[in-house]
């Protein structure tokens, strides 16, 4: 396996095979830190009750990675849920993101402090530039300084393509630890996956199950595999991501699904099953294209979901 990571082949059986386990692994990042491979996303969770319940259930199920963003409008509830939990802060990996309407060195530092204040935290585990909207290099420089000052433990980007990532690498002094990009069985990002691996940058998947007309949960191949393993379609897809060595952040506000999405480390997909899912790629996105400069500029007029 790449990077020497071992997920589900951890303990040898008496017959020389392997016993599967259900622990959530940590993946190493290029700065020597680690990130939990499975997290809970809270995009489009627009009220305090749902946000806090989802995080409470996730932490109780063993999740230790929560992904939010300034644009989501729920950072304050994420922070409240963390403070109200029984899990120590230093055991929870918290990610947030800088929205497209904020660019510039001073503006980025001020936006980061606003995020920190809403979360009620002293530091962030990971801070991302949400999209490669114009002006991202000045924002990256501000994030580098916040990282060097210890206010952010890790910095990265989201929705950057190869050209935009190369721009960051050419002009920055700190390499991004992750690129969080749309990835699911119908949009697998294989070229970007290989590029990120070549650069030592983790591939983090948002919309991991697809969505809209590209919802992979109803795919017949996925459901045949789910029946064969006696698991859900979502668990098959999330397991596929895990075996591709991606960080994955499924979103749910339902306790049973949050638990189910977490239980993806006690079974494995063989090579033929992985290929069957790989063959589903259609190259169709759910979300915007980072090459769409008109959308990127327009998005800078959006202040957020709230």
Active-site positions read: 72
Query: Phi/psi of residue 44, each to 5°?
Result: 65, 25
Q: Which residues of 58-95 are buried (b: 16+ CB within 10 A; e: fewer)?
A: bbebebbbbbbbbbbbbbebbbbbbeebeeeeeebbbb
Tell me the sheet residues that pair with 152: 124
d(C-alpha 106, C-alpha 86), whole Å: 36
**Contact of 298 with 98, CB cutoff 8 Å:** no
Nearest to 132 by CA among 300, 273, 266, 6: 300
d(C-alpha 255, C-alpha 265), whole Å: 18
Place of tokens 């990835």: 183
**Contact of 95 with 147, CB cutoff 8 Å:** no
d(C-alpha 18, C-alpha 12), whole Å: 4
**DSSP state, residue 24:** P
Nearest to 93 by CA among 28, 49, 34: 34
């Amino acid at each position: 396996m790449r990077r020497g990571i071992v997920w589900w082949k951890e303990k040898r059986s008496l017959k020389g095979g392997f016993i599967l386990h259900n622990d959530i692994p940590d993946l190493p990042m290029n700065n020597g830190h680690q990130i939990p491979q499975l997290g809970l996303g809270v995009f489009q969770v627009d009220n305090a009750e749902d946000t806090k319940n989802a995080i409470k259930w996730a932490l109780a199920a063993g999740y230790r990675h929560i992904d939010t963003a300034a644009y989501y409008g729920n950072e304050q509830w994420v922070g409240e849920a963390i403070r109200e939990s029984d899990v120590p802060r230093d055991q929870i990996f918290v990610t947030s993101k800088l929205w497209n309407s904020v660019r510039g060195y001073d503006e980025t530092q001020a936006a980061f402090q606003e995020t920190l204040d809403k979360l009620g935290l002293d530091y962030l585990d990971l801070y991302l530039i949400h999209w490669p909207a114009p002006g991202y290099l000045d924002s990256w420089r501000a994030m580098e300084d916040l990282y060097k000052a210890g206010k952010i433990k890790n910095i990265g980007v989201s929705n950057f393509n190869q050209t935009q990532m190369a721009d960051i690498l050419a002009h920055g002094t700190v390499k991004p630890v992750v690129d969080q990009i749309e990835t699911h069985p119908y949009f697998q990002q294989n070229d970007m996956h290989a590029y990120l691996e070549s650069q030592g940058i983790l591939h983090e998947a948002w919309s991991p199950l697809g969505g809209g007309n590209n919802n992979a949960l109803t795919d017949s191949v996925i459901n045949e595999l789910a029946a064969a393993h006696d698991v859900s379609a979502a668990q098959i897809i999330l397991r596929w991501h895990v075996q591709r060595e991606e960080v994955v952040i499924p979103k749910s506000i339902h306790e049973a699904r949050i638990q189910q999405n977490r239980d993806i480390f006690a079974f494995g997909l063989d090579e033929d099953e992985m290929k069957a899912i790989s063959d589903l790629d259609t190259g169709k996105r759910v979300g915007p294209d980072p090459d769409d400069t008109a959308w990127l500029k327009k998005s800078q007029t959006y202040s957020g979901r709230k």
